[in-house]
Every structure is written in C-alpha cells, then in structure tokens.
Amino acid sequence: MEIKSNVLMGRYELGRLLGQGTFAKVYQARNLKTGESVAIKAMEKEKILKVGMIEQIKREISVMKLVRHPNVVQLYEVMASKTKIYFAMEYVKGGELFAKVAKGKLKEDEARKYFQQLISAVDFCHSRGVYHRDLKPENLLLDDNGNLKVSDFGLSAVPEQFRQDGLLHTTCGTPAYVAPEVILKKGYDGAKADIWSCGVILFVLMAGYLPFHDANLMAMYKKIYKGDFRCPPWFSSEARRLILKLLEPNPKARITIPQLMENAWFKRGFKREKPPTEEDDISSSISPADVETAFSGETTPTLRDQTPAAAKPATLNAFDIISLSPGFNLSGLFEEKQKVKHESRFTSTQPASNIISKLEEIAKLESFSIKKRDCKVKLEGSEQGRKGHLAIAAEVFEVTPSLFVVELRKAGGDTLEYNKFCNQQLRPGLKDIVWTWHEDSR
C-alpha cells in the first residue's frame, strides 16, 4: 500500500521513492520543522508479523539508537500507524560503496581512507557491545562529502545474544564475506568475525574482485575455511601483509582492532574520530515499551528521539536473541554434528532483582529448591524422574539499564518433563515480567 498523503505524521514531507524490497520501501523526505532531508523506511506490519520479523526489527531499532557515530547511519525517529512502522533515518545520498567498486578497483590511498572510516565505525560499535555480522560494500554508503556510513543493522548482534561460552552461535551474513569460524557453527567471537569481513572489504576495494569466489557455494566455503586466496601483484607489500593478518583463518591469531590501529599502513593519514561526550552520547532512548507500541494496533508518532543522561552499556558475555534466521548448518563439511541444547530466552523491563524474585516465587509454588549466585539461578524439582530430578538454570543479563535478557535452559532431567513444566508452569508464572519471549532453540 502506498502512502497516500505526502505528509507523514504531520512532520515529514515525502518525496520520491528511493528503493524497495520485500518488506520495506524507502522514500526521500523533508523534515517540515528543520528542512533537513531524511530517508523514511516504511514497513508493512502485516508482512513483518507474517514472516516473524518482529524481534529483528526491534533489535535493529535498539542497535541504531545505541551506536551514534559519524560513520554510522543515524536513526532519528520511529513512528507507527495501524498498518505500518516508519524509520526516519539520516539521508545518505552518495549511494553504495559497492557501486563505486563495481566501476573498478580503487587506488590504495582511497581504499585506505574508506577502510579507516569503516574500522573507526566498527570499533565504536564493538565498544558498545554491537557486532554487525553483515559487513559488505552494499551495506556501506557514501555521503555527499565522500565519507563512509555503515548501514543495515538487521543482522547485528547485541549483548543478549552471547551464550554461556561467551560466543555467538547464529550463522548469518553474506557468504563471500563470512568468517570461517561462523561456518563451523561452533561459536564465534563477533568482533573477530567483523574483522574478517573488513579484511574481505579491503581486498575488494583494492582488487576489484572477491578474495574467495567459486560458482559452487560449498567449494567457496572450503576456500574460506582454509584461507585459500592470493593477493594481486599491484598490492603493496605492506597492504598484502595486513590483509594476510585480517584474513587469518584462525580467529585467535587474527589481528585485533587495537593491533590494527598500530599498523603502519593503516595509520597513514588516519584521524581517529573524537568519541562522543556524555552530553552528546545518546544511548538507546527508545524504551522497550515504546518499541512494543510500534507493533500494537494504535496510531502513534510518539517514539521520538530524546536525549537522556548517557548510560554506558554493560560488557556482557551471553547472547542468542536471533532465533529468527538460524541459517544453514555447514558443520557437516568439517566435523560431526553437535548435540543441541534445550534453551529459551525472554526480555524484560523489570530489574534483575524482580526477575530473580519471580523465579523464587515460582520455585516455592511448585515445591522446587532454588540456588542463587549473583544473577544465576538454578531451580530443581523434588520428584525423581526417569532421567533424574528436573533442573532449570536461569541467568539474567543487562542489555541497557531498562532492558534485561533472561536465558533459561534445561540443566537436568527429562526433556518432555522440561517442556511440560516450561509451558504449563514457568511461562504462565513469568507473564507479568516478560516483555517478549524469543523462539526456543531445539
């Protein structure tokens, strides 16, 4: 359905259609109050609900509000009508970096400038606990001054997505740019995976083609897994050495951003962006309740940008909120399949103390014993099942001061008994504190 009026929510005058995909249309628009050009991304609620993309959209909102940086596309405002959700975003009119590369390889100095801006943005995102996971030239835009802007955080990972091993486990990204450890599905460090993608991007900028390419997808993944590529002869020796460090198949040996910042080739002409001051810094100012309102049936233009006192996000080591697109398992190429754990997650706007108190209340009602240590809780049933006592482990993680993720997993007992308890006792008992449940991992 097209937007019938050329004025959206009384605040934006809509202009030409810039592009469209399966779930969204993007329009150029003008802020009626400031006269500033913006991009309006319009998404159909019905389509989003149909394909189960609600959590992905919520995550994209929270991430874009969290990362304010000169080299990251800025989200100004989120609005909603009965049928649509709208993002008002920074209008970046220079197009994709991909279009520039498609015309031919870049000179080393120009490639270095874009690479420096990319690393500056990625470093800032990582400092905020955000891992992009789909870095590629198509997701890098250029403004009218020729500066790079990172966009499309739809697949990004935030602190609640790490599991207890401190790693991410969702296979996602674009095949030619994905790191070898992501293919294995054994768990990976989001920062290391992003660095690999940055290395592929640098190679593409200077070479004009991909380092890993094969018409057969499986053959290409094997090349990625082995780090099987060659630099063209026009690469300088310094650039060649750096790319070999960036595209190191072993993530433990791969160069880190702090090490990269000290690299002589990288440092040439590099001007590091001044970090935001406490006054300038805007952490996720749209609350979970506000985001939820965007998916309700009401018409609301209330999700506007505000500037609260800044709060630094906690450094966390547990996640896996992305259960929407688990990707494809390629581990069979390299190893035997791993056993699947039974776990689920929910987000809550209640403080950790309230969440733990609610778990204690459920344990008491169901005659379960409970053990607590910091933000970890273990509930254990008194009855002996065919596989021992049913035990459930829970851990609370802080994403922002107003948003928490709770991970629940079976720690003992029979799976059928665990599923029955979760569905009949645990979930109903937690309904007062749950903002949203995330699809179980089976």
Active-site amino acid positions: 134
Q: Which amino acid is at 190?
A: G
Burial class (CB in 10 A: 0-12, 13-18, 19+), 27: buried
- CA 435: distance to chain centroid? 19
**C-alpha count within 13 angstroms, C-beta hemisphere, residue 414:** 10
Distances from the Cα of 147 to the Cαs of 126, 153, 272, 312, in angstroms? 20, 19, 14, 27
The DSSP 8-state label assigned to residue 6 in this structure reads S
Distances from the Cα of 272 to the Cαs of 107, 201, 258, 261, 269, in angstroms? 21, 20, 12, 10, 10
Query: Diameter of the chain by CA atoms?
Result: 71
Which pairs count as long-range contacts for 227-232, CB under 8 Å and 24+ apart, including other chains?
A: 227/180, 229/203, 231/203, 231/207, 232/207
Distances from the Cα of 322 to the Cαs of 9, 53, 166, 271, 440, in angstroms? 31, 10, 15, 35, 10
- Residue 86 to residue 69: CA distance in whole angstroms: 22
Strand order in the sheet with 343-348: 369-373, 376-385, 388-400, 403-412, 343-348, 436-441
- Residue 422 to residue 426: CA distance in whole angstroms: 5
Which residue, among 194, 155, 169, 193, has the nearest Cα to 407 in the 3D structure?
169
